[in-house]
Structure 1
Amino acid sequence: MAPDMDLALLTSLLLMLGVLCQWLAWRMRLPAILPLLLVGLLLGPALNLLDPDAFLGDLLFPVISLGVAIILFEGSLTLHFADVRNIHGIIRNLTSLGVLVTWAVMGAAAHYIVGLDWQLSLLFGALVSVTGPTVIVPMLRSIQPTARIANVLRWEGILVDPIGAVLAVLLFEMIVTGQQGESWLEFGKVVVMGTVWGVAGGAALGQVLKRHFFPDYLETYAGLAMVLLVFTSSNALGQESGLVAVTVMGVVLANMKDVNIEELMSFKEHLTVVLISMLFILLAARLDINQLISIGLPALAVLAVGLFVARPLSVLVSSIGTGVTWKEGALLAWIAPRGIVAAAISSLFALKLEGQVENADLIVPLTFVMIIGTVVIHGLTAGRFAQWLGLSRRGEQGVLIASSNKVALVLGEALLANGIKVKVVDNRREGLQQARMKGMESFFGNPLSEHADRFMELAGYTHLFAVSRNPEANAMVCARHRYDFGQARVFSVQPSSMDETDTREGLVTGLRTNILFDREASWSKLASLIGQGAKVRSTPLTEEYDFEAYCASQDKHAIKLFALDSRGKLRVFSSQSEFEPEPGWTVISLAIEPDKGTRVES
């Protein structure tokens, strides 16, 4: 990445590096921000291979501004008023009292340890008072705490992200208007302008989506264009009011009735991944290594205050009267990684305040030390800490079954009988009632919906079985949740007939879905066997009665479902499975009793 490298080549290399960082984070179950920042630090201050100011020139500030606007809008789309009304106890307190405690403690630390003035210190406190789902969710997958802890942390991240962003934006506007010699009245005008423009933009975009003013393929593009237009036009009408506008716009849109924003959210999520990947490599590359060294000890001291004072105090105050045990409080106090909002907004604010506010350039390195420190320290230690406290679900196994038809319920019973917990998700209340009567957990809703993404608890569930009669629905469910479970643990039942589903199988293959059981075990065949009284059998394997002998003794219509290895680990038979059960394993199958005739549909 030499300074004279072709701009197009440099851009494509950065995009590829972003992809590799995202992939590495996915494979290692780390927040993506960590490898992105480390790559940026390596390319920029460490090796001097990338100079973002030379790379983008005058476009640096507009690119970062637009990127932050989209990130704030995408984050505010998750803030539903119903969620705020319905939360209670520790979650409510963490997103209100907890934010205030963290803000005050971290602001005081920045003022007294680093020497920032109070305005900058409080701005820094607001920036690092938020966690965010993009860093929390990957960490929860790695730590695997109990469902109660996972639920608290997940909801805290979802709700506190836009709340902290709004607080930081308001403080920034206060600093800007104050530095320009303007009064609190001018600050109020900026906030009112952004709010009014955001409400108008959100209402307008909501009507566009509700009335399908544009064809489907143009709706997401129109949404992006309107968001950027609201941001830039608000800034033009009221200086620096654009960030308030896009944040309010997202909240308005998220709470409008009868407006489907799933496609818009999906598009924004994909766009945000690209923006984050590019943005954070560039932002980290802009860091001054000498500046990092010069504030090294004070920054580490501020990090220590965040780890050992601010977060524990925040959790302590928030947990009073909520029934949280001391062990749960201790674990909550040790999981608070900072992420995307802090990094993006701090960099933008530092750029805007350069030359106006003394020591404004220290905000970015301080924030990045907090991000890297909390992600690394919490990521490396929280899992063992959870195990020591007895609050870890590592080693647990569970299967999420999408559908509540008779095939799904029989599979669920077979799993439960062998010690594997089961959750059934469907929008058929009758089927879910049957599942609950059989001892399974249930979730009412469409597994493809945003509602399921936000409310369905997946802690402790390791596999997904899509068992609908509709192969397209199965493929889409698997595609949507393959990142939650991992590609190798997502399975779809074979459609009814191989003859009628050549094209459907192509869809399944194209979406990288593993076929559940063997290719002859179609939904119709499974249903036919169940209708004829087929039973689930569990067969232990021994040295004398090994897997080869087991297969030879089985009826030709019997279907091998799954196996439990010698450690009790679930292994699913599928067309892609490569394991062979050994002595000490248990094989679970579906078969007709020997004295009954068999008539099986394909």
Structure 2
Amino acid sequence: MSIELGLMLTGMLAIGFFAQWLAWRVKLPAILFLLLAGILLGPVFHVLDPDKLLGPLLFPVVSLSVALILFEGSLTLRFQELRGIGHVVRGLVSYGAIVALLLLAAAAHYLAGMSWDIALLFGALTCVTGPTVIVPMLRTLRPNARIANTLRWEGIVIDPLGALFAVLIYEAIVSRHQGHAIGVFLTTVIAGVVIGGVAAIVLGLLLRRQLIPEYLQNFGALAIVLLSFTLSNEIAHDSGLLTVTIMGIALANMRDVHIDDILDFKEHLTVLLVSMLFILLAARLSWPLPPGMLWAGIAIFLAAQFVVRPITVMVSSAGSGMTWRERALISWVAPRGIVAASVSALFALRLERLGVAGSDVLVPLVFILIIGTVVLQSATSRPLARWLKVAEPEPHGVLIFGSDAVARAIGSALNEAGFHVLLSDDDWDGIRRARMEGLTTFYGSPASAHAERNLDLTGIGLMLGLSTHRERNSLACLHYQQEFGRDKVYRLRNLAPQETSNRSALADRLSVPVLFEDTMTHARFAELLARGWRLKSTGLTPTFDWPHFIEQYGSSSILLFGVEEKQMLRVALAKRELEPRPGWTVIVLVPPEAPTPP
């Protein structure tokens, strides 16, 4: 049995990795491939039987995994960010979410015959989207900025709020089913809020006063979260999920508490847990479904897609100034994700143990809705955005990794030439200077898990690696080659060719095209700027072409970029010289003795 358990767990780990990798390659939410893998392993080919494999461990494994997923999701909800998200998002995550919850509950009750209490729980679980499904879809969809920001912020904010709704409704169902008075329900809620708040205060105090060494902070946070979850369940039955949700929200909004490292660790851990958990949960589905349940699930999906979401958006966007085309696309895009799948499976397990009628159909209906929304919306959203004329044109914006003087100078020159420029770096001083110079910035590495969820790449199709950190520069370039394509990612040398040994050079298949002339390094570029060289942007004409420019500004001038008449950016590379033509705008690094225009 131990050999079988080890083999199955490692096999699930490998399959989960492959599903995540495939989702990254095709730019679709990973939850789709994980659920399909679990369905194939379980009800289709009967290779995996989670109940037989894990036995009494199944429920604790699922419970602890969902607790960590909810804690990680609630860590992203910062109240200070709610003030700047706009009228539509505030509507979608408040009264709009309540409207969606009630309409979805009505659909589940009348179309699938669910009792009202289970139907309300279904509505709470499925009224939310999430960043793990929205962000990959937006990269393919590429709508205009208002739509992209609305959908992205809705997913970030409503993810933990939806979990909170679901937990509260679940607690009410359990209390009513067990014959508890309203006081027991309130006790459960109070216990969750108090224990979660106290745990957050304790962990925040330990982090703020540096009482936990940095290398143990992730371990300590994990231990406190799971301890709080278990202790809360012991004090007030089934209050643990509310505890970890409150704990995450409270910790995210504490001042002077650095949680970025913990959040990164939890994100990596969540990827592992989600990959294993969803395969397990999907493998527990029974096939064929109970009579009529498949058609009921499809009917609920159609109602959610064509009735519930449009009504929710219409109510939430009233008086917002959005065009009907923008509202139509937002009404179409609402894929369900991690919270709906993971929490519904956990609640179903618990409700089945309590003998609550209708709990056995909760997970199949949720999974049908997840698969339906992800598949339909991923396939049709981009053509719909083009038809509605709210899709961004071909992305000409530039992502720059780095924020030192070289990155800021190049970013400012491209920005003045009319390109949307975004500087990303984890050097706070450089990011602060870039903001003071009027550049759009993102604080963090562009290849981090945090950037995966929060970096808005709308309208951006080119990446320049200008960081002073050689290895991280190469890593970010390789990451964005998959995002933008190999011919849209470039780097500035950190070492001259003669300084790079064969042992430290990247393999050809990993190499990234080198910016500017072959001898140009980051250090040399910075030195030239310090000596008074400056970036000059000039439009070429038939009477003032490139030879005339060189004659006026000197042969030592270094051509960096050329901008064609249709706002196409051409990059000067070490192995590909540009030939500027009349009608182009050239961005050139010119020496200090070059004439300065009046």
Normalised by the size of structure 2, how large is the TM-score? 0.85
In structure 2, the CA distance between the partners of 1:320 and 1:487, relative to structure 1 (3 Å rule), is same
Distance in 2 between residues matched to 1:73 and 1:514, nearest whole Å: 41
1:227 to 225, 231, 235: 225
Residues 5-84 of structure 1 mapped to structure 2, 5 A cutoff: 6-84=4-82
Matched, 1:387 2:386: yes
* 8 Å CA contact 2:422, 2:442 repeated in 1: no
Q: 2:257 and 2:506 mapped to 1: Cα distance?
A: 29
Out of 126, 129, 135, the residue aligned to residue 128 of structure 1 is 126
1:324 aligns to what?
322
Amino acid at match of 2:308: A
Contact 2:560–2:571 under 8 Å retained in 1? yes
Question: Which residue in 1 is equivalent to 2:377?
Answer: 378
Select which of 251, 256, 259 maps to 1:258: 256
**Taking structure 1 as reference, are residues 453 and 256 closer, same or farther at Cα in structure 2, changes over 3 Å only?**
farther
C-alpha distance 444-231 of structure 1, shift in aligned 2 (>3 A): closer
Q: Is the 8 A contact 1:565 1:581 kept in 2?
A: no
- The equivalent of 1:369 in structure 2 is 368
CA distance in 1, matches of 2:36, 2:466: 42
Residue 11 of structure 1 aligns to a residue in which SS?
Answer: helix
Q: Which of 274, 277, 293 does residue 272 from structure 2 map onto?
A: 274
- Given that 1:131 and 1:336 are in contact with CA atoms closer than 8 Å, whether structure 2 keeps it comes out as yes
Counterpart in the other structure of 1:551: none
Partners of 2:135 and 2:453 within 8 A in 1: no
Distance 1:338 1:192, change over 3 A: same
The match for 1:493 is: 492
Is the CA contact (8 Å cut-off) linking 1:478 and 1:491 kept in structure 2?
yes
Letter of the 1:81 partner, please give it.
F
Tell me the equivalent position of 1:205: 203
TM-score, scaled to structure 1: 0.85
1:121 counterpart letter in structure 2: A
The 1:417–1:110 alpha-carbon spacing in structure 2 relative to 1, beyond 3 Å, is same
> Does structure 1 residue 315 correspond to structure 2 residue 318?
no
| Alignment correspondent of 2:151 | 153
Q: 1:237 to 1:571 in 2, by over 3 A?
A: farther
Deviates more, 1:189-198 or 1:206-215: 206-215
| TM-fit CA distance, 1:272 | 0.2
CA distance in 2, matches of 1:431, 1:395: 30
Give 3-state SS (helix, strand or coil) of 1:291's partner: coil
Q: Mean alpha-carbon deviation: is it higher for 441-450 or for 305-314?
A: 441-450
One-letter amino acid of the counterpart of residue 125, structure 1: G
In structure 1, give the amino acid aligned to 2:399.
L
* Structure-2 separation of matches of 1:343 and 1:408: 43
Partner SS, residue 212 of structure 1? coil
Q: Which deviates the most, 526-535 or 209-218?
A: 526-535
Question: Cα distance 1:537–1:168, how it changes in 2: closer, same or farther (>3 A)?
Answer: same
Would the alpha carbon gap of residues 215 and 409 (structure 1) be closer, same or farther in structure 2, given more than 3 Å must change?
closer
Secondary structure, counterpart of 2:421 in structure 1: strand
Distance 2:494 2:386 in 1: 42
Q: Does the CA contact (< 8 Å) of 2:562 and 2:585 recur in 1?
A: yes
| Residue 395 (structure 2) aligns with | 396
Identity across the alignment (%): 44
Deviations 1:197-233 (A, max 9, x none): 1011111111121122222211101111111111111
Describe the shift of the 1:124–1:304 C-alpha distance in structure 2 as closer, same or farther (beyond 3 A): same
Q: How many residues align?
A: 576
8 Å Cα contact 2:172-2:185 kept in structure 1: yes
Gaps of 5+ in 1: 541-554, 598-602
Distance 2:218 2:257 in 1: 13
Q: Residues 431 and 441 of structure 2 are in contact (CA less than 8 Å); yes or no, is this contact kept in structure 1?
A: no
Contact 2:206 2:212 in 1 (8 A): yes
The answer as to whether partners of 1:231 and 1:245 remain within 8 angstroms in 2 is yes
Q: CA deviation at 1:461?
A: 1.3
The amino acid that maps onto 1:164 is G
CA contact (8 A) 2:19 2:30 kept: yes
| Counterparts of 1:27 and 1:374, CA distance in 2 | 20
For 1:362-417, what per-residue CA distance to the aligned partner results, in whole angstroms no more than 9, with x for missing partners? 00000001100000111111111111111111412111234555533553365457
**2:132 and 2:453 in contact (8 A); partners too:** no
Unaligned runs of 5+ in 2: 542-553
In 2, Cα distance between the equivalents of 1:337 and 1:322?
23
Assess if the C-alpha contact under 8 Å between 1:566 and 1:584 holds in 2.
no
Flag the 1:180–1:120 CA change in 2: closer, same or farther, 3 A: same
Give the match for residue 172 of structure 1: 170
Please, which moves more after superposition, 385-394 or 344-353? 385-394
1:565 to 1:321, Cα distance in 2 relative to 1, 3 A: closer
Check the 8 A contact 1:199/1:249 in 2, yes or no.
yes
Q: Distance in 2 between matches of 1:176 and 1:503?
A: 66
Contact 1:432 1:444 in 2 (8 A): no
Deviations 1:506-554 (A, max 9, x none): 8999x988754466321232245553467568999xxxxxxxxxxxxxx
Deviation at 1:177, TM superposition (A): 1.1
3-state secondary structure, aligned to 2:289: helix
What per-residue deviation string (whole Å, max 9, x for no partner) do you get for residues 302-326 of structure 1? 1111001110000000011111111
Q: Considering only aligned residues, what root-mean-square deviation do their CA atoms show, in Å?
A: 3.9
SS at match of 1:464: strand
Q: Which residue of 1 aligns with 2:547?
A: none
Deviation, structure 1 residue 465: 2.6
Deviation at 1:469, TM superposition (A): 4.9
What residue in structure 1 maps to residue 545 of structure 2? none
Higher mean C-alpha deviation, range 241-250 or range 485-494: 485-494
Q: From the superposition, tell whether residues 453 and 49 of structure 1 become closer, same or farther in structure 2 (CA, over 3 Å).
A: closer
Shift of 1:132: 0.7
- The answer as to whether partners of 1:107 and 1:121 remain within 8 angstroms in 2 is yes
Instruction: Report the Cα offset of residue 194 of structure 1.
Output: 0.9
Please name the residue that 2:108 is paired with.
110
